[in-house]
Amino acid sequence: MPDDPSPEISFKTVKSLAVGLTNKPDYLIEGLIEKGDQVLLYGQPKVGKTFLAIQMACALACQKPFLKWKIQKRRKVLYVNFEMGERVFSERISKFLDQPDSDLSPDDRVVFFDNQLAGNLVFTVRPRSVEILEQSDSLEKLISEEKPDFIVFDTLAKLHSENESENNAIQRVLTGIRNVCELDKVPITHMIVHHARKASINMPENGPVLSPAEIRGGSAIRGEADVILGLAKNTGGSGGGAKLTLIMEARNVDLENSENLDLVKEEVIFQIAPMQTSECMKYDFYEELEAATEHCSKSDLVARLAKKHGLKEDTVTKEIQKWKKENPSIREEKDANDGRKVLIGIAKEEIAGF
């Protein structure tokens, strides 16, 4: 393919901080995704990436919360689907919408679903792949006709035939996707669904870890994205009973490193998993230590935690011993006056990460 002529480059100069500091972020999903962002959603095969992508698409189209994040207004979503036919994909979308009464006719059910979306979610059925570096005209035409606020590409592998491990090659692909996702030179927020390396997302006992090695392909894939969402099965680490963990990283937004997720409604819809009893108790334990001016009576603290969480005192004592090992700054001593065991309070900055 002949090299494309270099596009004209223009620079914008900012002469006062007042311009940048008074700009408010234009969030599609409040506190998570801004207008113009390139989002990467990755995970191992069959972990639920497409279900999560559809859930986000439906939330934007219907103005419903996405997990714990708010959506301020309806957005038009274009879902570029390379994986499924029309019937199957339509059925998947319908699972994320409010369900009609069982006595409605099939035709009325379709109308019921369409009314919820109000034309804000459109998706493609064919072709099965597009070469973004050679066939971008068809995508540009589609985007120009639909004028979406948010685009989902499912999956990255169906947009190119380059070597994903070759950084220069995959960088051209990602840049090509950004270039396609523009209307009148205004960037459109878009999400790329991508695969992790097989059996590469490790869930150690101290929680999930996001590393470049987990994303299939060269480091440019991770480096190009503004927001990264990694979906991993939870193997019983910090998530307690949660089935999955959403691992997050962003350039412009301060995010928690991860959120534990459960599945509801036919095992397709994700929700934030409630804290497990041990996690809630650990939080209360640290709160008590932070509030203590000098020290906490260990026996009194054990009794309070046991009563609040409905556990035996021996169980609480074992948990405290475990937390002490995790954090060497927690000290246990004998009170000089009555000889009772006490826990020494720790500095707030030492527990801020909990």
pLDDT at residue 57 in the model: 98
Tell me the domains of the chain and their CATH numbers: 25-272 (3.40.50.300), 277-351 (1.10.10.10)
The listed range with the strongest mean pLDDT (186-190, 234-238, 278-282, 322-326) is 186-190
Burial 248-284 (b: 16+ CB within 10 A, else e): bbbeebeeeebbbbbbeeeebbbeebeeeebbebbee
Q: Report residue 206's pLDDT band, with 50, 70 and 90 as the boundaries.
A: very low
Residue 212 has a pLDDT of 53
What integer best gives the mean pLDDT of the chain? Answer: 85
Pair type for strands 38-43 and 189-195: parallel
Residue 257 · residue 248 · CB < 8 Å: yes
Q: Are 219 and 58 in contact (CB under 8 A)?
A: no
Phi, then psi, of 136 in degrees rounded to 5: -70, -20
Structure-block tokens of residue 50: 């497409």
Q: What are 269-297's pLDDT values in tens digits?
A: 999 887 666 767 787 888 888 777 667 88
Nearest to 130 by CA among 108, 109, 98, 160: 160
Q: To 5 degrees, how large is the angle CA 95–CA 99–CA 100?
A: 140
Radius of gyration (Cα) for the chain, nearest Å?
A: 25
Q: Which two tokens stand for residue 58?
A: 């439906």
- CA pair distance 187, 181, nearest whole angstrom: 6
Alpha helices in the chain (DSSP H): 17-21, 49-62, 86-94, 106-117, 136-146, 167-180, 219-224, 265-268, 277-291, 298-309, 313-326, 348-351
In this structure, the strands spanning 150-154 and 189-195 are parallel
Contacts 24+ apart (CB under 8 A), 238-245: 238/205, 238/206, 238/207, 238/208, 238/279, 239/207, 239/273, 239/276, 240/273, 240/275, 240/276, 240/278, 240/279, 241/273, 241/276, 242/273, 243/273, 244/47, 244/48, 244/270, 245/203, 245/207, 245/208
If you average pLDDT over residues 123-146, what whole number do you get?
94
Sheet containing strand 341-344, edge to edge, reads: 295-297, 341-344, 331-334
57-91: pLDDT as tens digits: 999 999 999 999 999 999 999 999 998 999 999 99
CA dist 110 and 338 (Å) reads 74
Centroid of chain to Cα 134? 31
